[in-house]
Structure 1
Amino acid sequence: MSQTEQKQVFRVHGFTCAGCATKFENNLKTVPGVTDAKVNFGAAKVTVYGSATHSALEKAGEFENLTLTPDQGPIQKPSLPFWKKRSNWFLLTSILLLLTGFYTSITLSENSQLSILFFLTSMLLSGGKLFLKGIKNLVRLEFDMNTLMTLAVLGAAAIGEWGEGATVVILFAISEALETFSMDKARDSIRSLMNITPKEALIRRGQAEMQIAVDEIEIGDILLVKPGQKIAMDGIVRLGHSSINQAAITGESIPVTKEIGDEVFAGTLNEEGYLEIEVTKHVSDNTISKIIYLVEEAQAEKAPTQAFVDRFAKYYTPAILILGILIAIVPPLFFNGTWEDWIYRGLAVLVVGCPCALVISTPIAIVTAIGNAAKNGVLIKGGIHLEQLGLLNAIAFDKTGTLTKGLPAVTDFISFEETEAKHHLSIAASIEKNAQHPLAAAVVRKAQTEQVAFYPLQQFQSLTGKGVHATIEGVVYYLGSPSLFMEKWPQHLNQVVKEQILSLQQNGKTVVLLGTDQKLLSMIGIADEIREESKAVLKALPKLGISSTVMLTGDNQATAQAIAQQIGISQVEANLLPKDKLDRIKAMRDAGKHVAMIGDGVNDAPALASANIGMAMGGAGTDTALETADITLMGDDLKKLPYAIRLSRKTLRIIKENITFSLALKILALLLIIPGWLTLWMAVFADMGATLIVTLNSLRLLRVKS
């Protein structure tokens, strides 16, 4: 497709069923000037490529009275409540007219003119649109569920079954209303995310403070947020510190401390402190808008099961029509059957054969699951990835930033003069404050946590590759690796000290020594801290059918093995470059494994792309992770992984239940036609019941919690 080709995105208003969305897409592709069109039924959106007028595009949706409005980002207006829709009031009135018609047919006569009038009015009121669409389809020789229902109702009227014809129309209308209600509910669960962001905010621009709409806020404005208020825009804290509840973005309700220089997100709640925040993104580009946009786009990507169902339904509907015609005409023509009896049975076939439940069985489950995942801090980029997630039996983890926090920390501080431990920490931190490596930062953070004093340095010099030395209060101190002390003062390292150093190193820790030329003062063990949840997650995965877990890391074997033993990972591959990680993933796939790779979304990009599922950690505010990974754990929280797998497995199970149930019910109903036990109203009730059960079964996915 040409990069210069015009692309237009619209919101679609008026969808009642998945079949209508497919027909609308096909109609759009025939509009002059349109080269391609993709309808997203889950998000009620359409993307049109080419050049065509707005009126020409809407004309393609005339069959359903669809209207199009330009897409201005995630929709904020929720759908109308069920009881406020005019079509539903028409439906209620039709039900009253139907009951009145039955009453008059009992009290007067079965087909009295008054009862026929009530039945006919009931049909037209609840099925007027159905008949118009069905007749248009007949003229064009297009066969869908509207065609089947129209033929069935006209046939029922022709043989004098007015009551049953009206019942068929009303039950079909109820079925469509339930389908619309269920899809609106699934869509609203995503749209509700937009309600968490304030529509106005107090900002400072220059010297002036003003309350303005978020659409008018510009990058560089200073957002003024008081305790208890929601943050309206993405930005960087420039003044103050506070605890922020980021549940809307990450699904994690435990507040996170934010200080000067930290990033904050729109829709999160400032719990206790006053903040001044420099705005870094426009409202249409903020993290919550991007999440909702990606979720809506994900709903358009059909899962393999859904694609199969769509192909099946394409041939299924004409087959049912042919079967109904054959049942109506073959027995009377060749086996002395009565025309009225077999026409009635043929009409029942048309009604029970409507593929409503089958067509909606997969998309409603996919849309509901993706929406639920987003609200719980897991961004799944499409139905295909949701299905793949449920098939996993192996997971490969990057170490740094995934199984560990990615931030070195002091795990052991051993002073050889116990009463001087805090003094030694002060000396070490004072020296390291002037160094520029991650291990130095870990020592400084330890000192800040312990609230010890920092001494001024009289002299500081780096010993390249080995450590540093500095003068404090006239004493020269050395801080560096064991090899520095072994080279200069081997007498400081007796057997006990050597054993302590070896023990720390075998546990995956880097050892730093503090001393003078006279004696050894302290030993510091530094390691990348393991995430608290890593061990629990690794323990939970085998229960979810994950038979193989492997750590892929660039670290040395000893460090990697030590961490693997602590968290319970089954296999370790160390000293790997990005290409090596890619090769390991390919090898696992070649061995028949269905594998996911979990990394940071940047350095592990080749391995993420090669795996069946690429998962990124900590996508909140990280554009690269949001764009590149199939699935993103928004809160940088590994505990979301078992939840995502459970949700996917339940989604697959519910889709199978839906398809099996809808097909089984139709087969059973078709078998009842042979002895003549299936009436028209029973046929449509079976179809409506299947749609209702499939819908309610799919909405169970909203109850899956993180």
Structure 2
Amino acid sequence: MVEKQLNIPILFPKDPEAAQKSADLLVDALRKHEGITAMEVNLVQGELSLRYDPAIISSEVVDGVARDLGLQLSRRVRRQIIDVDSSLYRTVTDSLEESLSKTPGVFHVTINPVSHTVCIRYRDKEGLAAVVKRLESEGYPQKEGKEAKAPFWVRNQGLIWAALTLIFLLAGVAVQKFNLAPSLPWLSVAFFVVAYITGGHEGFVEALKDLRHGHLNIDFLMIAAAVGAALIGEWAEGAMLLFLFTLAEALEDYAMDRTHSAVEALTKLRPNEATVRREGREVRVPVEDVLVGDVVIVRPGEEIPLDGKVFHGETLVNQASITGESAPVHKGPGDDVFAGTMNIDGAIDVRVTKAAKDSTLAKIIDMVSEAQSQRAPTQRLIDRFAHPYAVGVLASVGLALLVGYVLLGMPFQDIFYKAMTLLVVASPCALVISTPASVLSGIAAGARNGVLFKGGVHLENMAKIDIVAFDKTGTLTHGRPVVTDILSLNGLNENELLRLAAAAEIRSEHPIAQAIVEEAKKRGLDAPEPDSFRAIPGKGVRAQVDGRELMVGSHRLVREHGNGHRDKPIPDDVLSLQHDGKTTIFVLEQGQILGVIAVADLIREQAAETIAELRKLGIKRIAMLTGDYEPVARNIARQLGVDEVYAELLPGDKVDVVRKLQIDGAVGMVGDGINDAPALALADVGVAMGAAGADVAMETADIVLMADDLSKLPFTFRLARRARAIIYQNLAFAILVIIGLIITTFTVELSLPVAVIGHEGSTIIVVLNGLRLLRS
């Protein structure tokens, strides 16, 4: 095992206790990942030091866990994803990644040879420039003109080289077979030499690059086999090998190019200009020049250019590009709209809330691009295995030559031909491409359906989940509670009790507090601003209203601050409300209960159906986590068919519940990604739902469901499991083909061209099998 040392600068909270708790959470969250052998947090220097096996875990996972916990990498660390010219970029080695990561001013570099991307995390622009320059010197130039898609013949130069190779191969065979130039006996060889150049020059360059780093790759094995064939006079068969290899590589690149269609399609959705109302006039300006606060005019049939809120007008909007929802959504004043969505039938004025570079669409494009730039754990493991495997193949070929010629006395030309055939059939082309073909297709299919996987590691991990924990509020329920009952217990009339409660809650951002304030507004009650206000996390608020000392909150508040109420039984009227599934909020004045306000958060229409579907998918246990009173939580759980209920939880308690659940299996935590971020980070997979427009949620989770729609969750499980099944199919098929061809090489007269067809055919088959996910 080759270990790497990683030192990550992290901004911990200033408060020592909060910093220590964050550090403990970070260590616990990282401990769930295999591949980390040692870690240490230095709070004084603000640094996480760890040793890890890069074949099992990547630095992106560490970065993601830190961000999920609400921590930040040092603000000096920035990220840039660049596309590398795919015509030169086919293989990659860990040693190149490691070497580039040591560049001054660079934090870490990750290279994905299949998506042709390099993800650079850097501290200063000089470091970024140094990496780009070094990549160019290594023969990996950055693609120019990223926005404009190159013509087909430019993007698929491999097909042109394959066609030229075939032409010169056929010319050489024709001259040789039909003796077309008896006075020029060297002509057929000349045609074959040109075929070698057109079919093998890219592979030769790639092989040299890896040899400079002390690695052997598949290109080297193919070039070696072709040269070997030439040495024994089998020029035609060597040229045929290079033609088929070049053709297979070109078809592979063409097929893999389709996995990037999700990002390209999203990029095309971005309008270049917007109609802005300025100084009473309508002007067309580039979207980059539109300012937050500007009013944009969007007419029927136009794409909405930037994120914002509808200021005037009503319409239907097709949000499929962002949320994956098939049905148009009604939008009116105050509703959020997103860049890249289609305005269908009404003219609307939109007040811009985000700059173009910060729009939800821009974030989606960025996330999908980053996800495709990372290598999944299985891919990393296979990539690391490729070099020693290639060395083993060469050693086997040498051993076969030695045994056949020296010990068995076979003619040198015969055993050499068999050795070159072995060199071809044992090459792990299909094995190397089997995982990335499926992972990239899975990520692209998810993005098209409003599900963002933040990397192949999360796609793979989602398939392993057998326990699902839901945060109740805003996930299983709508998260928009309404007041249903007001119960006065000391003679105050309902409206006065509600007015006092609303005044105390008016500064709170909690959904229940907002429901109370909204109900007071509906009744036309004048709720004054409190003279003082303090939130009590997980319990309620304390406020002074009209000179009265009030507390409004849950039963915990009564237990801790209710004079004479700690040990009293809860009144039957209140119990009745709780058993009906309503949340009861107590209003206290100087420790005495003035009354109770009941609030209900309606269960989502798809919640019960989603939980039933998860059971059909084989999820063993389903749990619900909530800060609500236990009778209320159990009532909701009963309606939904949830197995386990963890109620009356403070925000930090959810972490302990997830840790407890992980004892029995892999846990997927589903929440809103905002108030349950630590639990999402600790879970094996954190899923944030309804994240369109919510920046915090998009940053927090491992998987983001853009639509506020629970039905996307079973789809996510099915997609992840289908991806895993296809990865296993590809690996099994690739290994069986290699074994079968090796056995055939020594048991029957397998010609070199037939060996190449079998070898390259299996590669194309696993790529096409992986692309089936794009139809999900």
- The interval holding the TM-score normalised by the smaller chain is 0.7 to 0.9
The counterpart of 1:601, out of the listed 658, 669, 673, is: 673
Contact 2:499 2:526 in 1 (8 A): no
SS for the counterpart of 1:340 is helix
1:638-677 Cα offsets, whole Å, 9 max, x none, are 1111001001101111111111111111111111222352
Structure 2 CA distance, aligned partners of 1:526 and 1:162? 83
Larger radius of gyration: 1
Aligned equivalent of 2:619 = 546
1:369 aligns with 2:438: no
Aligned equivalent of 1:93 = 164
Aligned equivalent of 2:368 = 295
Aligned equivalent of 2:43 = none
The 1:314/1:511 distance shift into structure 2, 3 A limit, reads: closer
Contact 1:102 1:115 in 2 (8 A): yes
Structure 2 CA distance, aligned partners of 1:173 and 1:261? 57
SS for the counterpart of 2:142 is strand
The counterpart of 1:652, out of the listed 724, 729, 738, is: 724
The counterpart of 2:421, out of the listed 338, 348, 351, is: 348
Contact 2:320 2:341 in 1 (8 A): yes
1:615-644 Cα offsets, whole Å, 9 max, x none, are 112111111111111111111211111001
Contact 1:352 1:666 in 2 (8 A): yes
- What pairs with 1:346-495 in structure 2 (closer than 5 Å)? 346-409=419-482
Structure 2 CA distance, aligned partners of 1:695 and 1:689? 10
1:263-296 Cα offsets, whole Å, 9 max, x none, are 2110111222222112222222111111111122
Q: How far does residue 25 in structure 1 lie from its aligned partner after superposition?
A: 3.7
- What pairs with 1:50-65 in structure 2 (closer than 5 Å)? 51=126, 57-58=132-133, 60-61=135-136, 65=139
SS for the counterpart of 1:529 is coil
User: What amino acid does structure 2 have at the position aligned with 1:198?
Assistant: P
Contact 1:348 1:683 in 2 (8 A): yes
The 1:581/1:34 distance shift into structure 2, 3 A limit, reads: closer
User: What amino acid does structure 1 have at the position aligned with 2:375?
Assistant: K
Structure 1 CA distance, aligned partners of 2:627 and 2:274? 46
Aligned equivalent of 1:188 = 261
Contact 1:432 1:440 in 2 (8 A): no
The 1:588/1:680 distance shift into structure 2, 3 A limit, reads: same
1:475-505 Cα offsets, whole Å, 9 max, x none, are xxxxxxxxxxxxxxxxxxxxxxx99997664
Structure 1 CA distance, aligned partners of 2:526 and 2:656? 52
Structure 2 CA distance, aligned partners of 1:510 and 1:26? 55
User: What amino acid does structure 2 have at the position aligned with 1:359?
Assistant: V
> How many residues are aligned here?
638
SS for the counterpart of 1:576 is coil
1:10 aligns with 2:82: yes
Structure 1 CA distance, aligned partners of 2:115 and 2:207? 26
Q: How far does residue 62 in structure 1 lie from its aligned partner after superposition?
A: 5.5
Q: How far does residue 56 in structure 1 lie from its aligned partner after superposition?
A: 7.7
Contact 1:203 1:224 in 2 (8 A): yes
The 1:581/1:673 distance shift into structure 2, 3 A limit, reads: same
Aligned equivalent of 2:684 = 612
The counterpart of 1:584, out of the listed 632, 639, 657, is: 657
The 1:615/1:60 distance shift into structure 2, 3 A limit, reads: closer
Q: How far does residue 551 in structure 1 lie from its aligned partner after superposition?
A: 0.8
SS for the counterpart of 1:13 is coil
Aligned equivalent of 1:477 = none
Aligned equivalent of 1:675 = 747
Contact 1:399 1:551 in 2 (8 A): yes
Q: How far does residue 159 in structure 1 lie from its aligned partner after superposition?
A: 0.7
The counterpart of 2:252, out of the listed 179, 191, 197, is: 179
The 1:33/1:282 distance shift into structure 2, 3 A limit, reads: closer
Structure 2 CA distance, aligned partners of 1:545 and 1:347? 48
User: What amino acid does structure 1 have at the position aligned with 2:159?
Assistant: N
Structure 2 CA distance, aligned partners of 1:543 and 1:456? 49
1:247 aligns with 2:320: yes
Aligned equivalent of 1:224 = 297
1:559 aligns with 2:632: yes
SS for the counterpart of 1:39 is strand
1:338-389 Cα offsets, whole Å, 9 max, x none, are 1111111111122122222111111121111111111211111111111111
Q: How far does residue 693 in structure 1 lie from its aligned partner after superposition?
A: 0.6
Structure 1 CA distance, aligned partners of 2:260 and 2:612? 35
- My pick for the range that moved more, 198-207 or 660-669, is 198-207
SS for the counterpart of 1:125 is helix
1:68 aligns with 2:134: no
Structure 1 CA distance, aligned partners of 2:155 and 2:209? 29
Aligned equivalent of 2:767 = 695
The 1:526/1:576 distance shift into structure 2, 3 A limit, reads: closer
SS for the counterpart of 2:233 is coil
Contact 1:297 1:382 in 2 (8 A): yes
- Specify every segment of 5 or more residues in structure 1 that has no aligned partner in the other structure, as ranges: 414-426, 449-453, 466-497, 513-523
1:234 aligns with 2:307: yes
Contact 1:24 1:61 in 2 (8 A): no
1:282 aligns with 2:355: yes
The 1:600/1:6 distance shift into structure 2, 3 A limit, reads: closer
Contact 2:93 2:215 in 1 (8 A): no
1:529 aligns with 2:634: no
Q: How far does residue 314 in structure 1 lie from its aligned partner after superposition?
A: 2.2
SS for the counterpart of 1:165 is helix
TM-score (norm 1): 0.81
Aligned equivalent of 1:337 = 410
The 1:577/1:26 distance shift into structure 2, 3 A limit, reads: closer
Q: How far does residue 596 in structure 1 lie from its aligned partner after superposition?
A: 1.0
Contact 2:119 2:373 in 1 (8 A): no
The 1:441/1:346 distance shift into structure 2, 3 A limit, reads: closer
Structure 1 CA distance, aligned partners of 2:347 and 2:110? 46
1:150-184 Cα offsets, whole Å, 9 max, x none, are 21111111111111111100011011102211221
- What pairs with 1:305-324 in structure 2 (closer than 5 Å)? 305-324=378-397
Structure 1 CA distance, aligned partners of 2:411 and 2:291? 77
Structure 2 CA distance, aligned partners of 1:84 and 1:568? 52
Q: How far does residue 434 in structure 1 lie from its aligned partner after superposition?
A: 11
SS for the counterpart of 1:257 is strand
SS for the counterpart of 1:46 is strand
1:95-145 Cα offsets, whole Å, 9 max, x none, are 233234334433339996443333332222222232344467668864211
1:664 aligns with 2:752: no
TM-score (norm 2): 0.74
- Specify every segment of 5 or more residues in structure 2 that has no aligned partner in the other structure, as ranges: 1-6, 10-73, 487-493, 506-510, 531-539, 541-570, 586-596
Structure 2 CA distance, aligned partners of 1:694 and 1:115? 36
Aligned equivalent of 1:77 = 148
Structure 1 CA distance, aligned partners of 2:725 and 2:701? 25
Structure 1 CA distance, aligned partners of 2:527 and 2:112? 67
1:624 aligns with 2:700: no
User: What amino acid does structure 2 have at the position aligned with 1:288?
Assistant: L
Aligned equivalent of 1:517 = none
SS for the counterpart of 1:237 is strand
> Identical aligned pairs, as a percentage?
39
Q: How far does residue 233 in structure 1 lie from its aligned partner after superposition?
A: 0.7
1:40-76 Cα offsets, whole Å, 9 max, x none, are 445533244574695884564566x432258x9xx53
